[in-house]
Amino acid sequence: MKSPLRTLLELELRLTWRRMVDSVTQEGKRPGMVAILVLIPLAFLPLLGLLFTFAYSWQLAFNFLNQPGAALVFPLLAAQLAVVFFGMGHLLSLFFFDTQLPILLAYPVRLRTIALSRFLTVLAGEYLTVLLLAGPFLLTYGLWGHPPSTFWLWVIPLVLILPLFPLCLAALLAVFLIRVLARWVHRETFRVLGMAAATVLTLAFVYFINRVSYDFGLAAGQGMGGDPAAVLELLRQHDWLQGAGSWLPLALWEARILSGHPGWPLDLLWLLVVHVVILGLFWLSLEGFFFSAFLGLQEGDHRRRFQASALGRALQPRSTVRALLWREAVLILRSPILLLPFWWRPTWIPSFLRGPTSG
């Protein structure tokens, strides 16, 4: 007999896959589904190629500085920051915007089990984020960074624990947003704000890719390594890139462990202590942590504020056309998500179609 956690986890993974397929195939329209699902992974191949090329140039530059292990700090930090952002969006989606969660709450299952199954579902998705962003840099370091013999022993365990701390931080930020904004912002407005933030980050990422392609000579086809001298110049102009590990010491500790730094046993001890403490606190507060915020959001959605002045304006006599326009405006203000199709497609699609610049 399966445990409740295993049953819920399998259910969550299947539902997540079903949502992804339905969103790609336009609400479950079957024709062309296989072709679309095959094309989606293929669309990431150019990005992976660019990341591997940049990772190779990045590694050669740090080899020249006689600090090959330091090349891992910034990629690991970037992967953790990406987990914070994407993990927070995924947690908000599963805990606060999912219509099936109230149905699960009626089942004879502990709230902690439901929350843990959804958290593990998000964690499984964030491993893909880590592999996409940090994987090319870890592989190039393993092949060309002259790693110690212990690198291949530690790389898999460290990749497995890499998203744990940032995902717990993302959960804290998600609950904070819900508790602070639920009294003033409608549920649909959260989605609009999230899509706006995703659009800004997407455009910034595409701009960064174009600049990388031009500044490092990748668009000009200078071979696999691009121009490592450009990476050295970048590090000289921006000292914060070399000191990035001071922002979040976990990335620095993991880089030292992977590179065989003389003090790596102490770094490993600190890494384990931090994760044991944060995961222990997270486990103890898991049940009330999410569902108290969820209930607060439910109360915020059902609260209505009426003002005498607003009621007077609504009852004013007006023409039919003006009344219809006013009605549409009120509906959009109540459900801002209706505006999404008007602005995210015109901004996202051209940004992805635009190729690297070469001068």
pLDDT in tens, the chain (359 residues): 678 888 888 877 887 777 666 655 554 455 556 666 677 677 778 778 878 888 888 888 888 888 888 889 889 998 998 899 888 888 887 777 777 777 777 778 887 888 888 888 899 989 999 998 999 999 999 999 999 999 999 999 999 999 999 999 988 888 777 777 666 666 666 666 777 777 777 777 767 766 665 665 554 444 444 556 666 666 666 565 555 556 678 988 999 999 998 999 999 999 999 999 998 888 887 776 666 656 555 554 444 444 444 545 555 566 677 767 776 666 665 555 555 555 555 555 555 555 444 44
| DSSP type of residue 145 | S
Give dist(CA 230, CA 239) in Å, integer. Answer: 14
pLDDT for the residue 311: 46
Note the residue count of the chain.
359
- Residues 102 and 114: beta-carbon distance below 8 Å: no
Give dist(CA 218, CA 227) in Å, integer. Answer: 8
Give dist(CA 84, CA 91) in Å, integer. Answer: 10
DSSP letters, 235-252, are: HHH-GGGTTGGGTSHHHH
| DSSP type of residue 72 | G
pLDDT for the residue 60: 86
Angle between helices 264-284 and 249-259 (to 10 degrees): 140
Q: Is the pTM of this model over 0.85?
A: no
* Percentage helix, strand, coil for the chain under 3-state DSSP, each rounded to 5: 80, 0, 20
Contacts of residue 36, defined as CB under 8 A and 6 or more positions apart, other chains included, come to 24, 25
Quick check: helix, strand or coil at residue 115?
Answer: helix
Quick check: helix, strand or coil at residue 306?
Answer: coil
| DSSP type of residue 279 | H
Two structure tokens written together for 305: 């504020």
Amino acid (one-letter) located at 246: S
Give dist(CA 271, CA 236) in Å, integer. Answer: 30
- Residues 251 and 80: beta-carbon distance below 8 Å: yes
- Residues 340 and 195: beta-carbon distance below 8 Å: yes
Which among 202, 193, 191 has a CA at the least distance from the CA of 93?
191
- Residues 94 and 118: beta-carbon distance below 8 Å: yes
Which among 72, 89, 82, 84 has a CA at the least distance from the CA of 135?
72
Which among 82, 71, 66 has a CA at the least distance from the CA of 245?
71
